[in-house]
Chain A
Amino acid sequence: MIAFNKYYNQFNILSVSLVVVSLFFLIFKGLNFGIDFKGGTLIELRSNDKKINVSSLRDNLSQMNLGDVSVKKFGNETDFLIKFENNENKNVIEEIKKNLDKSFGNNFNFRRVENVGPKVSAELLRSGVIAISVALALMLIYIWIRFEWQFSLGAILALFHDVIVTLGLFSLLGLEINLSIIAAVLTIVGYSMNDTVVIFDRVRENLRKYADIKIFELTNISINETLSRTLITSITTLLALLSIFFFGGEILKGFSLAMIFGVIFGTYSSIYIANTVLVRLNVSQKTILKDDDKN
C-alpha cells in the first residue's frame, strides 16, 4: 500500500500555490484568445515555393495596412497561419490573395479562411463562459444529490483546481484559447468529476464497513484500492489523447493538449484535493449514517 496520506499537507500547499500562480497569470497575463473570441481573420496558407518563409510573408502583409498581423508556421515548413484583427474592408481576403500572387507568383493555396465579426466573437465568448458555468453548476447539483456536502465540497474544489490550473497553464504558455478549448475544458470537468466520484464511492463504502478507522487512514485505503483503476483509465485516456496530439493534425493540437493537462490534473486532484478535503472536514461514519437514516 502506498502512503498517499503522508504527503497530504505538502500537496495541499502545492495545489494552493498552483491555483494562486494560475490566477496570477490569468489576471495579469490573461489568456491568448483566438479569433473565435476576439474577432478577426485567420488564413491558413500552403505555399508551393519552399523559399517563401515567415518573415517574407510578414514583410509583404505588413504593407497592406491590416493592423496587427501575426504570421506563424503551422505544422509543415510550407504551411502558414496568418491572423489579423477585424478589418472594415469586406474584400480584404481577395486583396490579400491578389497581393500575395503579385509578390510571390501564383504559389499559394488558401486552405482555410475564418472570419469572425466582433458581435459573433462576443457572443461565442459569452456562450463559452455560460457553458462552463452551467457544467460546473450541474456537476455541483449532481454530486450534491449523490453525496453528503463534505464530499461535494471536495469534488467541487478539485474541479475548480483542474479548470483554473489548466487555464493558468494555457496563460503561462501563451497557448490559444478557441472554441475547441472550451470543449476540452468541459470534457476535463466531466473526467475530473468521474475520477473523484469513483474514489468517493469507495470512501463511502469503506466508511460503512470500518467504524473504527480514522478518515486519514480510510482515504488512503480507498485511494489504494481504486489506484489501479485510476491509473489504467488515465493511461488509456492519455494514450488516445497522445495519438490525437501527435497524429491528429495541427487543428486538434490545442484541444488534445488541454485535455492531456486536464487528465493529469484531474487524476492528481482526485487523490490530493478531493480526499484531503474529507480529512480536513473530519468526515466519519456518522457523517454518512446521518444521511442514510434520512433516506
Chain B
Amino acid sequence: MLYFSKFRIIFIFLISLIFIFFASSNLFKFSNEILNKKINLGLDLQGGSYLLLEIDNSPVIEQKLQNLSITIRNFFKEKNIRIRNIKLSDQQLSFSVDDEFKQIILDEFSDEESEINPYYQRFKSHQLEIEEDNSVLTVNFSRQGIIQIKTSSQDQALEIVRRRVDEIGTNEPNILKRGNDRILVELPGLDDPMRIKALLGKTANLTFRFVTNNDEDSFGAEKLMYEDNSEEAMVSKRIILSGDNLLDAQPRMDSENNETIVSFTLDRVGAKRFGKATSTGIGKQLAIVLDGKIISAPVIRDVIASGSGQISGGFTFQSATDLALLLRSGALPAPLSIIEERTVGPDLGQDSINAGIIALIIGFVLVILFIFVKYKIFGLITNVALIINLFLLVGVLTIFEATLTLPGIAGIILTVGMAVDANVLIFERIKEELKNEKNNLIAFDSGYTKSRTAILDANITTLLAAIILFFMGSGPIKGFSLTLGVGIFTTLFSVYFIARLLTVLYVSKNKEKGGLI
C-alpha cells in the first residue's frame, strides 16, 4: 500500500492540477469553449421561476370522440348499417344497431387492418376499445389510444409554450416534457412570473362566428358571454375563421378614435373565406370569440377582401400586446393549468449564495482546525487532501456543468465534514498497529490495508443514499444528492492518492522515528 511509482505521482499531480484549474475557472472568463466551463446556478440561487404545467386532455378526447361519431356513422352507412342513438357522455361514445349487424361492427373494430380503428403493431393494441352491453355498444379510447392523444397534445403544447415564452424574451428558458401530460418551464432570472403565468393559462382559441338567432342556423348556436361579463349573445357554432388562418397579429393604435387594437393578417385560405363571409353577411354581426368568450362583435359594413382586419375590444396597450402575442404563437391544443410554482427573487438567491459560502468557510475552518489539533503533522496532510478534495469536487461539477443548488452547497459542506472519516479510520488503525509493530513502514502499510473494508463500507452506504435521492428527488434535492455522491468519489481519490502519497513521503523520511502519530 505504500509504494508509489514516479508515473503515478505525475498522474496524481496532473489530475489534481486539471481539477484545480477547472474549479477556479468559475472565476475567470475564457474565450476557448472547452476551457470556459462554469457551474450552473440553480433557480434557488440565481433567482427565477419554476412552473409545472399540466395539460387537461379531456376536451381533446371529447372533441376526438365527437369527430369519431361522424366517422363511424358515415363508415357504416356505406355498408348499409344504420347507427342509431349515437351519444357522447362521460368520455365515451355509445350507440345501438340492429342485432344482425352487431357482429359485423365488433369484427370491424377488432380487425387489425381496420380503417376506423387503427392497430398499433408496436404496442399490440387498437386505438379504440368497444364494449357490448345488451343492445348498446360503447366505444372509448384504449390505454394506448389515450397515450397517443396525450403525447401528441404534449408535443403541440410544448411548441406553443416555447413560442410564447420566447416571445416574452426571458434569458435561456428551459422547457421540458414531464411524463406524458406535463410540461416543465424554468425561467432563470424571472422574479415576477405573473405575466407569463397569465399567458400560459390561456388556450388562445380564436374563432370568428356570426351572431345569430337559434332557429335560422342549421349548425346550431350557443349562448356566449362577452369577455367583460356584461352581456351575452347567441353565436353560431359554425366557424368562419379560426386562429389557424392567422399569419400575423400586432398591437396598433387606431388613429381615428385613439383606441388600442390588434390588427391581423390572414393566410390565403383565410382571406378567401373572410372575403366571402363579409360579402354575404353585410349588416350582420361577426363575433370574435376567444376561449369561449366574445371579445367583440362588430357589424360588417364592407366586404373585406384584403385578408387583413382588426380586433377592437377596449384593450389597454398591454392587453392588446398580449392578445397579439397569443394569436401569433397559436392556440394550445388543450388547456394548461399550473400545478406547481416555485419562484425565488434574485436578492434571496444572492443571500442564499452568501450564506452558503460563509457556512462552507466556517465549517471548513472548524474541521481543519480540529483535525490539525488532533493529528498534528498527519492532520496537516489530511487537511491538504481535504482542500484538494474540495477543488476536485467543484472541478468535477464544473466540467460537467452541473447545476448547483442551495441543498447542493449543504452537500458540499457535509462532504467536508464526512471526508475526514476515511483518513481518521486509517490513522486510528495505524495507531493501533504501532502498539505491536515497531517498524513504522510495516505499521503504516497494515494500517492502510486493514482499514480498507471499513472505508469502503462507509462510503458505499452513503453512496446508496445519494443515488436513491438522485433518482427520486426533484430540483434542489437532486443538487444535494449530486454533490454528496460526487463528493464520495473525490474523497476516496484524495484519501488514497493525495493523503497517502504525502503520508508515504513523510514516513519514508522518518522511518526510525518513534511516536509518529
CB of B187 within 8 Å of the partner chain: no
- Of A11-19, A25-33, A182-190, A210-218, the stretch lying at the interface with chain B is A182-190
A62 at the interface (CB under 8 A from B): no
What 4 pairs between A and B have smallest CB-CB spacing? A240-B417, A190-B465, A249-B355, A243-B363
**B464 contacts the other chain (CB 8 A):** yes
- When the two chains form their complex, are residues A187 and B359 in contact, meaning their CB atoms are under 8 A apart? no
Residues of B within 8 A of A112 (CB): 342-345, 348
Number of chain B residues whose Cβ lies closer than 8 Å to a Cβ of chain A: 70
Looking at the complex, which of B144-152, B251-259, B365-373 is the stretch in contact with chain A?
A: B365-373
Knowing A113-B343, A127-B472, A183-B481 touch, does A244 contact B464 (C-beta < 8 A)?
Answer: no
- Most chain B Cβ neighbours within 10 Å, of A180, A190, A228: A190
Partner of B367, one of A183, A201, A240: A240
**B352 A251 Cβ-Cβ under 8 A:** yes
Instruction: Say whether A167 faces chain B, with CB atoms less than 8 Å apart.
Output: no
- Indicate whether A69 reaches chain B with its CB closer than 8 angstroms: no
Residue contacts A-B, CB under 8 angstroms, 26 given: A111-B348, A112-B343, A112-B348, A113-B343, A114-B342, A116-B340, A116-B341, A117-B339, A124-B474, A146-B457, A183-B477, A189-B465, A190-B463, A194-B462, A197-B458, A201-B457, A229-B424, A232-B374, A232-B420, A237-B417, A243-B366, A248-B409, A249-B352, A249-B355, A249-B406, A251-B352
> In the complex, which residues 173-192 of chain B have their Cβ closer than 8 Å to any Cβ of chain A?
191-192
Given known A112-B343, A241-B414, A255-B410, contact A139–B428 (CB-CB < 8 A): no
Determine if A114 and B341 form an interchain contact, defined as CB atoms under 8 angstroms apart.
yes
Is the CB of B356 closer than 8 A to any CB of chain A?
Answer: yes
Q: How far is the CB of A101 from chain B (nearest CB, A)?
A: 13
List of A residues within 8 angstroms of B362 by Cβ: 243, 246-247
Q: State the majority secondary structure of interface residues on A.
A: helix
Neighbouring A residues of B339 by C-beta, 8 Å: 116-117, 119-120
**B226 interfacial contact with A, CB 8 Å:** no
Q: Is B407 touching A198 in the complex (CB atoms < 8 A)? A: no
Provide the residues of chain B in CB contact with A251, threshold 8 Å: 44, 352, 406
- Choose from A124, A180, A244 the contact partner of B363 (Cβ within 8 Å): A244
Let me know if B414 and A233 touch, CB within 8 A.
Answer: no
Answer whether residue B347 sits at the interface, using C-beta atoms and an 8 A cutoff. yes
Q: In the complex, how many angstroms separate the beta carbon of B428 from the nearest chain A beta carbon?
A: 5
Closest to A124 in B: B474
User: What residues of A have a CB within 8 angstroms of the CB of B347 in the complex?
Assistant: 109, 111
The A45-80 residues at the B interface (CB cut-off 8 A) are none
Contact of A248 among B201, B344, B413 (CB under 8 A): B413
Which residues, 221 to 242 on A, are CB-close (under 8 Å) to B? Answer: 225-226, 228-229, 232-233, 235-242
In chain A, positions 119-135 with a C-beta closer than 8 Å to chain B are 119-120, 124, 127-128, 130-131, 134-135
Residues of A within 8 A of B465 (CB): 135, 186-187, 189-190
Task: Given contact pairs A198-B454, A248-B358, enumerate 13 new A-B contacts (beta carbons under 8 Å).
Answer: A110-B345, A111-B348, A114-B343, A116-B340, A120-B339, A128-B472, A135-B464, A179-B474, A183-B480, A191-B462, A198-B457, A225-B432, A236-B371
Distance in angstroms between the alpha carbons of A139 and B463 in the assembled complex: 11
Are A233 and B410 in contact, with the CB atoms below 8 A?
no
> Known contacts being A110-B345, A112-B348, is A256 close to B410, with CB within 8 Å?
yes
- Residue-by-residue, is B160-204 near A (CB-CB < 8 Å gives 1, otherwise 0)? 000000000000000000000000000000011010010001000
Total count of chain A residues near the partner, CB < 8 A: 66
Most chain A CB inside 10 Å of its own CB: which residue of B355, B409, B481: B355
A interface list, Cβ under 8 A from B:
44, 90, 93-94, 109-117, 119-120, 124, 127-128, 130-131, 134-135, 138-139, 142, 146, 179-180, 182-183, 186-187, 189-191, 193-194, 197-198, 201-202, 225-226, 228-229, 232-233, 235-244, 246-249, 251-252, 255-256, 259
Residues of chain A within 8 A (CB-CB) of B477 are: 179-180, 182-183
A-B contact count (CB 8 A): 206
Q: Are B468 and A131 in contact (CB under 8 A)?
A: yes
Q: Which of B366-396 contact A (CB under 8 A)?
A: 366-367, 370-371, 374
Interface string of B444-485 (1 = CB under 8 A from A): 000000000110011111111110110011101100110010
A232 — which chain B residues lie within 8 A by C-beta? Answer: 370, 374, 420, 424, 428
Q: Looking at chain B's contact residues, is the secondary structure mostly helix, strand, loop, or mixed?
A: helix
Q: Which residues of A contact B407 (CB under 8 A)?
A: 180, 183, 252, 255
In Å, the complex CA distance between A135 and B473 comes to 12
With both beta carbons as reference points, the residue of chain A lying nearest to B481 in the complex is identified as: A183
Identify which of A111, A138, A233 contacts B424 (C-beta below 8 A). A233
Instruction: Write out the residue numbers on chain B whose beta carbons fall within 8 Å of the beta carbon of A93.
Output: 194
Residue of A114, A115, A138, A240 most packed against chain B (CB within 10 A) = A240
A152 to B511, CA, bound (A): 42
Q: How far is the CB of B332 from chain A (nearest CB, A)?
A: 16
Evaluate contact between A239 and B417: CB separation under 8 angstroms.
yes
* Interface residue from A139, A180, A225 paired with B476 (Cβ < 8 Å): A180
Which residues 415-448 of B have a CB within 8 angstroms of A? 416-418, 420-421, 424-425, 428, 432
Q: How far is the CA of A165 from the CA of B262 in the complex (A)?
A: 63
User: Within 8 Å CB of B197, what residues of A?
Assistant: 90
A94 to B472, CA, bound (A): 33
Residue among B367, B421, B428 having the largest count of chain A Cβ atoms under 10 Å: B421
